[in-house]
Amino acid sequence: MEEVFNFYLHCKTILFHKGLSLKQSTVGDPKSGYGLFFDPSKFSNEELNNETVQLLRIPKHCTFNINTLLAVLEDEDEFSSLEQFQRTSGKIKTILREIMAYPGFSKFLTETNLLILYFMIFQTIHDNYEIPGSIEYYLNNVLMSIEVESAVDPIESLAKDYGHYPQIFGLQETLGLFKDLFQEYLDASDIKHLYSAIISRCLEIPEKTDTGDYEFSVHSTLVPILDFSNHDNTQNNAYFDVDPSSNDVLLLLNTDAIRGKSSKPIEVFISYMPTEDLLPMLITYGFIPDFKETPQFWTISFDREFLRDYTELDLNANLRLFYKWLRINPVISLVKYKHNDQIRWFINDTTQEFGSLLLPFIPPLDNAKIARWTYDHTCHLTFTKMHCLVNPETNEHAALVAENYHSLIEERELNGDDFIHLPPLAWSLRYKDAESGCLRQRHMNCDEATSILQQEQEQDKTKTKFRFVSFFRDFLKYRKARITKPTSNSSISRLLFEQEQEVINDLTTAIDSNSTIFFSDLNTALNTEPNKFPPLRFHNDHTETNKNKDKLVSYFENPASYSPDSFTDSFQDEINQYAVFFRDG
């Protein structure tokens, strides 16, 4: 990599500070490779009087994002002749037309994936077609030459036990796409290597737009030399920015990192992620940062099969169906934090999403055995009733309408999606009316039910959390029994296994010893939050087992005789609430 550094150093396009150099990184992980270093003795007093010192200036045209790649490819001067320009352009356009015709390709269209797509095309054709020199140099000497390790290599084995994590699921899907597109031209190892190299080096670079003085767009960008900078949030001494007058990318060193330092070179550290969300960092960059006082996060994605099959606590709710209908993402955020000189994992109950996760665990009313939630196996008839009331002209076809809703609901319940995008008319909540104190029931969405929970007495809130902790303890036991060793011999699999075991053991011990497990009980504010996991869509394109199949009421039951009174006291209000769906649907 010294050759690459020196190449760009002498190209007279990228501007280097004289105190900048490339050396073996000081980061403990041997896979960190090289890093950028600055020599404090090479800075002038004038520079030290500023807040920052410019270490690098990389012109926009030296970076690689979709816009800059297209600009280079459309420039005849980047090729040795007009003939070579036309030949390469024609080949790339032909390949792109074939790729765009691939079924379902549009759902993979992100800037990063397009960037990967172009570089895979370059790797495919560069032996027989001329590629602009700047692109070919970076492709051959950086992307294809660096040692890189991410979750891409062991993705097939990881997906067996972690496929319910959106990052793993999405990575497997996307990598499968690139394999299908390029398997005739590239080895699987080259496809994985190039994919890993790009996602681990891409930066979100702002760029000033032409539409306004203070408007910026952000692009997924590869930035030569800057991409040698390593991550450390606790030793962070530099950051990247953009010069709004030219859109040049800058690497700026905080002068506080220079003052009072010896002449010994110091490694440049930037932040890949301001919040150390460990699973995304492991998957993308191939490492987990050591804990250094600042909070770290780990988000658990619950096994969907565990939610479907869980029968303890007499919940009267199939948790998988419950979360699907109320559109609650079945994930829980954990935070690693130092408390009373002990570094521990806590359940991050400070998020709004956590309140939604608690909904099926609301205890029975007044110590009675009256379940708070009831699932309506005949909900297709509720849909039919509302549909015919909103659209009176369909009354004579009510049986056919019921048949259609029955099929639609069954398909939505059994597909792999985390959310059922229908009005939440399958689950009814029993609650005490805040004004009258009377027992009532109605169908509710997540926000409405959460609001009811917030009005409950503090004692009931405590019981709700206690019931959730019992469920969570069962889940930890389930995971510990299921994942007994790394899924493969890769270091990523080992790190993932070790991290999950740490979480399981730590929280299991805390629960069993009645120690504090909720972060809110520490009375400490978090100044950052992890990125939110997206819900899964078409998880493995599989059909789930429906244990309630025998209980489903046939759609041939006469819809006209059906009464929703067993599940709601507010049927007319619900019709008004969801009239738009039935009218438009």
CB 428 within 8 A of CB 441: yes
**How is the chain split into domains, by residue range?**
2-61+223-285, 64-201, 296-584
Q: What pTM did the predictor assign?
A: 0.88
Distance of CA 153 to the CA centre of its chain: 19
Tokens of 164: 């319910």
Torsion sign across C-alpha atoms 373, 374, 379, 383: negative
- The answer, yes or no, to whether residue 369 has pLDDT greater than 90, is no
- The answer, yes or no, to whether residue 135 has pLDDT greater than 90, is yes
- The answer, yes or no, to whether residue 143 has pLDDT greater than 90, is yes
State the chain's mean pLDDT as an integer: 88
Three-class SS of residue 29? coil
Give 542's pLDDT tier (boundaries 50, 70, 90).
Answer: low
- The answer, yes or no, to whether residue 311 has pLDDT greater than 60, is yes
Per-residue model confidence (pLDDT) at position 550: 45
Rounded CA gap, 354 and 215, in Å? 35
Give 468's pLDDT tier (boundaries 50, 70, 90).
Answer: very high
| Comparison of pLDDT for 516 and 107, the residue scoring more | 516
Average pLDDT of the segment spanning 428-437 = 84
Specify the CATH class of 2-61+223-285 in words: mainly beta
All residues at 6 or more sequence positions from 76 whose CB lies less than 8 Å from its CB, including other chains = 82, 85
Most confident of 112-126, 232-246, 313-327: 112-126
What percentage of the chain reaches a pLDDT higher than 70?
A: 94
Residue 83 φ/ψ, nearest 5 degrees: -60, -45
**Which residue's structure tokens are 């935070």?**
335
Per-residue model confidence (pLDDT) at position 211: 65
Average pLDDT of the segment spanning 543-562 = 59
What percentage of the chain reaches a pLDDT higher than 90?
A: 57
Which DSSP symbol is given to 138? H
- The answer, yes or no, to whether residue 442 has pLDDT greater than 90, is yes
Torsion sign across C-alpha atoms 342, 344, 349, 350: positive
- The answer, yes or no, to whether residue 132 has pLDDT greater than 90, is yes
pLDDT tens readout for residues 29-73 = 555 578 899 988 888 888 888 889 999 999 999 999 999 999 999
Which element (helix H / strand E) includes 442? strand 439-443
Give 552's pLDDT tier (boundaries 50, 70, 90).
Answer: very low
Average pLDDT of the segment spanning 102-113 = 86
Residue 339 φ/ψ, nearest 5 degrees: -135, 125
pLDDT tens readout for residues 566-583 = 899 999 999 999 999 998
Per-residue model confidence (pLDDT) at position 306: 95
Per-residue model confidence (pLDDT) at position 459: 66
Tally of residues, the chain: 585
SS (H, E, C) 497-566: HHHHHHHHHHHHHHHHCCCCCEHHHHCCCCCCCCCCCCCCCCHHHCCCCCCCHHHCCCCCCCHHHCCHHH
The b/e string for 373-405 (b: 16+ C-beta within 10 A; e otherwise) is bbbbebbbbbbbbbbbebeeeeeeebeebbbbb
